[in-house]
Amino acid sequence: MGLLCSKHQHSTKPDAENAQATGIERRIERETIAEKHIQKLLLLGAGESGKSTIFKQIKLLFQMGFDDAELNSYTPVIHANVYQTIKLLIDGSKELAQNETDSSKYSLSPDNKEIGDKLSEIGGRLDYPQLTKELSEEIEKIWNDPAIQETHARSSELQLPDCANYFMEHLDRLSDVNYIPTKEDVLYARVRTTGVVEIQFSPVGENKKSGEVYRLFDVGGQRNERRKWIHLFEGVTAVIFCAAISDYDQMLYEDENKNRMVETKELFEWVLKQRCFERTSIMLFLNKFDIFEKKVQKVPLSTCEWFKDYQPVSSGQQEIEHTYEFVKKKFEELYYQCTAPDRVDRVFKIYRTTALDQKLVKKTFKLLDETLRRRNLVEAGLL
């Protein structure tokens, strides 16, 4: 009996192993087939272009959004943004007071100087304290100081993050002991992307036959992060290039002698000339239009070297549209200058975007999805 049992055990072991191996092979085959149907999107752009906000919007719009743990993880980030903002303004006011002829208007009131020094010291730390009611009241007091408001009016010279106004207006809520960040707070939260992050989604919902499934890769936009881009360049369906059009009067965080828009122009030109993108669709997001439309009414577009030939033609909304069309045309001309005649069949689309506007981002990705699906049908000979 023992011998019979022994023979039986030996005969079934290879069968079990073969079945397991076959199961693994089938699973790999299924996954390989599924992978072939996933379109790869690469999100590129210079630092501060709004790429990460677009990425967060995709998570909110086409996935399950942020759970409580993820929302709570943004609390220290948001508090850090508050401390960093007020430090930039305090230090900026000191610098302007030293260098400007009318120095008095950039000097903190005597009552606020001690608080200003304290908050500047906190903002320079590596670890920030939790934002308490007492600290938020002090920050609000400094924020409302006339010298800080005068300094804020020159924010384009200070590397001030776009979230500054938003968080300063919500200090009371942000400092509540039971504070949990809202979705809007998370969208405004600023943390520099390092490395590569990815997300899989479908603009018409998961597993819908009418839409494609996309895998979107976001990489850091600062110069020191761009070396990480190269290994992602193969097999890309489309490049989504974010250009912050409101940055035409600002300098780089990494190089305060280089205009951000000129850097964006050069980076877009470099992307267009990559051989691996010869037939890759290029989707250009002219982002931060909400900031742009306010800024162009105060700061001439010709401030930027690339736009020095711009001539105003009107005022108000008509002038805003004219400036936008001028910027759009500049990018179009650059695209065709950098596109060889044999590459003209690749898809090129321009979208006006505001990364914080959820409805607009949703509409933009629906249009992008339709464009890429149509291209797939053309390439398959079905259109």
The catalytic residue positions are 48, 53, 190, 218, 222
Q: Is position 52 annotated in a ligand binding site?
A: yes
Q: Is position 48 annotated in a ligand binding site?
A: yes
SS (H, E, C) 207-261: CCCCCCEEEEEEECCCHHHHHHCHHHCCCCCEEEEEEEHHHHHCECCCCCCCEHH
Please check whether residue 310 is in contact with residue 302, taking contact to mean a CB–CB distance below 8 angstroms: yes
Q: Is position 294 annotated in a ligand binding site?
A: no
Neighbouring CB atoms inside 10 A of 338's CB total 14
47 phi, psi to nearest 5 deg = -60, 145
DSSP 109: P
Q: Is position 222 annotated in a ligand binding site?
A: yes
Q: Is position 271 annotated in a ligand binding site?
A: no
Q: Is position 92 annotated in a ligand binding site?
A: no
Q: Is position 13 annotated in a ligand binding site?
A: no
b/e map 209-221, b = 16+ CB within 10 Å: eebbbbebbbbbb
Q: Is position 187 annotated in a ligand binding site?
A: yes
Q: Is position 279 annotated in a ligand binding site?
A: no
CA distance linking residue 267 with residue 156, whole number of Å: 21
Q: Is position 221 annotated in a ligand binding site?
A: yes
Please check whether residue 273 is in contact with residue 266, taking contact to mean a CB–CB distance below 8 angstroms: no
Q: Is position 290 annotated in a ligand binding site?
A: yes
Q: Is position 193 annotated in a ligand binding site?
A: yes
b/e map 70-98, b = 16+ CB within 10 Å: ebeebbeebbbbbbbbbbbbbbbbbebbe
Q: Is position 50 annotated in a ligand binding site?
A: yes
175 phi, psi to nearest 5 deg = -95, 5
CA distance linking residue 190 with residue 1, whole number of Å: 73
Q: Is position 288 annotated in a ligand binding site?
A: yes
CA distance linking residue 171 with residue 283, whole number of Å: 37
Q: Specify binding-site residues.
A: 48-53, 162, 187-193, 218-222, 287-290, 355
Q: Specify binding-site residues for Mg(2+).
A: 52, 193
Q: Specify binding-site residues for GTP.
A: 48-53, 162, 187-193, 218-222, 287-290, 355
